[in-house]
Chain A
C-alpha cells in the first residue's frame, strides 16, 4: 500500500463527505433536539421516510442475500456461487442500516431491546422485530468466514471455519424462512389500516405483494452492486451470471404484475386507475418502473447481454420498488389523514448518510476481503478490463 496521505478529492468522495456532514447534523437534530426539530412527522402521519425508506426499502432491497443463498445451497444452483458472498454482504449491510435506522425512528431508542423480553404475539411488528433480529444474526454468521478467514491464527481459524461449515445449511434454511416471513409481514403491518389506506394499495394480500416484489428487487440490487465492483473495484466476474440472474428477475416481476392486476380486478378497484388524483399518478409511476419498463427492457437480448444496460434496467426496478414502498407507507395514507407529508431535509440526510455508510463499508469489504475475485492491478490506461467487456 502507498504511504497514507490526504485522500484525493474526487467527485464521489465529495458527495459522500457532504452526505456525512449533513448526516451528522441530522443525528444531532434527532437525538439532541427531538422529533419536531428533525422530522415533519405529525399525529396523522406518524410514520414517514425513516419507516418508508429506511425500513421498508432497506429490508426489501436486502432480499438478494437469502434468494442467492437458497439458490446455491438448497437448490444446488452452483452457477450463482461466485456472487453469493456479494449478495450476503449486501444483505448484511442492508440489515445493519435498518437496525441503525430503527434507532432514529424509535421515540425511545434505548429501549430497542424491549421486544426481546416483552412479548405481544398478536402484533405484526413484534414478529417483524424478531425476524429482523434473528435474520441479522444469521447474516452476520453467514458472512463471518469472509472476515475470520483473515485471522492470522491458523488453529482458531480452522476451528471456526469447520464449525461454520457444519451449521451452514441450517443457517441458510433458517435465513430463508425468516426472510420470507418478515418480507411479507412488512406488508402485513398495513393490513390493520383497512378503510384508511388508499384502495389502489390496500389488499388482504399485502403480505404476498411485499414478498413477491422483494425478491426481484433484492436481486436487482445485487446485479447493480456487482456491476459497480467490476467497473471501479477491479473485480473479475463472469458477466453471464448477471444475465442469468436477470432471466430470473423477469418472470418474477411478471408474476408480481399479474398478481397486482388480478388483485385490482378482484377488489373491484379498477375504477381508481383513471381518477385524476396524485395517488393515481404515483401508482402508474410505480407500475411503470417496477413492472412494465423492466419487463420490456429485459425482453431485449441487447439489454440482457450488456452489463451496463442491465445495470440501468436494475436501477429502474429499484426505483420502482422504492416508489411502491413509499406509496404504501406515505402516499396511500395521505387522503385519509388529510395531511400532506413532505419529509424534512434532515430526514433525507439521516437516511442517505446511513445508506452512504453502508456503501462505503461495502467498498472497503470488497477491496480488503475476498468477496469477489480481482484482476491483477493494472495501469490506469488499461482499466477497461477484459471482464467488463465479456
Chain B
C-alpha cells in the first residue's frame, strides 16, 4: 500500500512562472480560463509571486488529513493511492473542513445556491489510469514532478544534499501536519514565500484524545450518576421507613 502512494514534488528554484499548471488544471475541470490570484472554486492550483520566486499553491494531500477527520459524513477521504478525495454526494455543506485545514486550502462555492467544497484531488482519476496529474504533465521545466512517494522524497533529499546545493535544508511537507503528499523544496526560506508553519503532528491527533474520552465519560459518568440516583433513592426510602417506625412507636 505504502509503496504505491503517489506524491508531487515542487522545486521552487525551477519554476519559471508560466502558469501552465494553472491552465492545465482549469482545462481538465472545465473552469473559465482566466488566471486567478488566489485559490478559488474555479482555481484549484495557482502560482503566487513572492519577489522573484513563483510558488504553487494547492491541496497538500496530508497523510493523515485534518479535513478527512473533521468531515462528519466522511465525504473527504485519504485514498490508499495518495490523493485526498471529496465525495460531493455525501457533503452536507457544514464547512468544518475549511475550518480544520491547517493550510487553508478547501474553497466553498459561496455564490451558488447548491454549493459544494472544491479542492485539488491530485487528479485521482487520471492517476488511477497510470497518468500523471494534469498540472505535472503540463509543466514545461519539470518544476513539478510526480511519482511514488518514497522515491519523490528521496529525489528531494538528493537535490537538497547535492554538493553544490543552494537549497534550504528542509522539505516542506515532510513533517508539516504529520507529513503530506505534496512536497516543496526552495532556496529561499519557506516563511518568506508565504508558507504557514503548520503544527508538526498529524492534526487528527488533536481531537482524537477528546473523542477518546467519550466512552470513558459514558461509563464513568453513567455509573456515577446512577450511583448518585441510587443513594438519593435509598435516603428517601430510609427516611420513609424511619418515619413509619417512629409513628408506630408513638402509637404503641
Q: Do A and B bind each other?
A: yes
**Is A74's CB under 8 angstroms from B225's CB?**
yes
Proximity bits, A112-155, B CB within 8 Å = 1, else 0: 10110011111111110100000000000000000000000000
Name which residue of chain B comes closest to A124, CB basis.
B207
**Is A180's CB under 8 angstroms from B90's CB?**
no
Q: How far is the CA of A112 from the CA of B91 in the complex (A)?
A: 10
In the complex, which residues of chain B have a beta carbon less than 8 angstroms from the beta carbon of A20? Answer: none
Q: Given that A108-B91, A195-B102 are contacting pairs, would A42 and B110 also be in contact in the complex, using a CB cutoff of 8 Å?
A: yes
In the complex, which residues of chain A have a beta carbon less than 8 angstroms from the beta carbon of B74? Answer: 118-120, 123
**Is B217's CB under 8 angstroms from A180's CB?**
yes
In the complex, which residues of chain B have a beta carbon less than 8 angstroms from the beta carbon of A181? Answer: 214, 217-218
Closest Cβ of chain B to A227, distance in Å, is: 29
B189 within 8 A of A: no
**Is A194's CB under 8 angstroms from B232's CB?**
no
Q: How far is the CA of A204 from the CA of B210 in the complex (A)?
A: 9
B206 within 8 A of A: yes
Name which residue of chain B comes closest to A70, CB basis.
B225
B171 within 8 A of A: no
| Set A46, A118, A122, A193: member contacting B95, Cβ < 8 A | A46
**Is A124's CB under 8 angstroms from B70's CB?**
yes
A367 within 8 A of B: no
Q: How far is the CA of A189 from the CA of B75 in the complex (A)?
A: 18
57-91 of chain B: CB within 8 A of chain A: 66, 68-75, 90-91
Q: How far is the CA of A368 from the CA of B96 in the complex (A)?
A: 41
Name which residue of chain A comes closest to B88, CB basis.
A108
Name which residue of chain B comes closest to A185, CB basis.
B210
Q: How far is the CA of A44 from the CA of B104 in the complex (A)?
A: 7
Q: How far is the CA of A141 from the CA of B150 in the complex (A)?
A: 56
B147 within 8 A of A: no
In the complex, which residues of chain A have a beta carbon less than 8 angstroms from the beta carbon of B102? Answer: 194-196
B243 within 8 A of A: no
Q: How far is the CA of A185 from the CA of B112 in the complex (A)?
A: 31
**Is A125's CB under 8 angstroms from B232's CB?**
no
In the complex, which residues of chain B have a beta carbon less than 8 angstroms from the beta carbon of A185? Answer: 210-211
**Is B225's CB under 8 angstroms from A122's CB?**
no
Name which residue of chain B comes closest to A35, CB basis.
B110
In the complex, which residues of chain A have a beta carbon less than 8 angstroms from the beta carbon of B96? Answer: 123, 125, 189
In the complex, which residues of chain B have a beta carbon less than 8 angstroms from the beta carbon of A177? Answer: 217-218, 221-222, 225
**Is A111's CB under 8 angstroms from B99's CB?**
no
**Is B95's CB under 8 angstroms from A176's CB?**
no
Q: How far is the CA of A114 from the CA of B88 in the complex (A)?
A: 12
In the complex, which residues of chain B have a beta carbon less than 8 angstroms from the beta carbon of A296? Answer: none
| Set A36, A42, A75, A204: member contacting B228, Cβ < 8 A | A75
B248 within 8 A of A: no
196-229 of chain A: CB within 8 A of chain B: 196, 204, 207
Q: How far is the CA of A129 from the CA of B91 in the complex (A)?
A: 14
| Set B40, B110, B116, B211: member contacting A127, Cβ < 8 A | B211
**Is B229's CB under 8 angstroms from A169's CB?**
yes
Number of interface residues of A (CB under 8 A): 57
Closest Cβ of chain B to A109, distance in Å, is: 8
Q: How far is the CA of A33 from the CA of B221 in the complex (A)?
A: 46
Proximity bits, B116-146, A CB within 8 Å = 1, else 0: 1000000000000000000000000000000
B114 within 8 A of A: yes
**Is B104's CB under 8 angstroms from A337's CB?**
yes
B197 within 8 A of A: yes
**Is A118's CB under 8 angstroms from B229's CB?**
no
Name which residue of chain B comes closest to A77, CB basis.
B232
| Set A41, A123, A204, A207: member contacting B72, Cβ < 8 A | A123
In the complex, which residues of chain B have a beta carbon less than 8 angstroms from the beta carbon of A176? Answer: 221, 225
Q: How far is the CA of A242 from the CA of B111 in the complex (A)?
A: 49
In the complex, which residues of chain B have a beta carbon less than 8 angstroms from the beta carbon of A124? Answer: 70, 207, 210-211
**Is A191's CB under 8 angstroms from B110's CB?**
no
A47 within 8 A of B: yes
**Is B100's CB under 8 angstroms from A192's CB?**
yes
In the complex, which residues of chain A have a beta carbon less than 8 angstroms from the beta carbon of B161? Answer: none
B98 within 8 A of A: yes
Name which residue of chain A comes closest to B200, CB basis.
A195
**Is B232's CB under 8 angstroms from A107's CB?**
no
In the complex, which residues of chain B have a beta carbon less than 8 angstroms from the beta carbon of A122? Answer: 68-69, 204, 207-208, 211
| Set A43, A107, A193, A195: member contacting B92, Cβ < 8 A | A107
B235 within 8 A of A: yes
**Is A115's CB under 8 angstroms from B204's CB?**
no
**Is A43's CB under 8 angstroms from B98's CB?**
yes
Name which residue of chain A comes closest to B69, CB basis.
A122
B162 within 8 A of A: no
**Is A74's CB under 8 angstroms from B232's CB?**
yes
**Is A121's CB under 8 angstroms from B225's CB?**
no
A297 within 8 A of B: no
Given contacts A118-B75, A333-B99, 20 further A-B contacts (CB under 8 A): A34-B113, A36-B111, A43-B106, A43-B110, A46-B95, A46-B99, A74-B232, A106-B92, A107-B95, A108-B91, A118-B90, A120-B73, A122-B68, A127-B211, A176-B221, A177-B218, A177-B225, A195-B102, A196-B102, A337-B104
The 7 closest A-B pairs by CB, nearest first: A107-B93, A76-B232, A46-B98, A126-B72, A120-B74, A118-B73, A46-B95
| 17 pairs, A vs B, C-beta closer than 8 Å | A34-B112, A35-B110, A43-B104, A43-B106, A46-B95, A76-B236, A107-B114, A112-B92, A121-B211, A123-B72, A124-B210, A125-B71, A127-B211, A185-B210, A191-B206, A195-B199, A333-B99
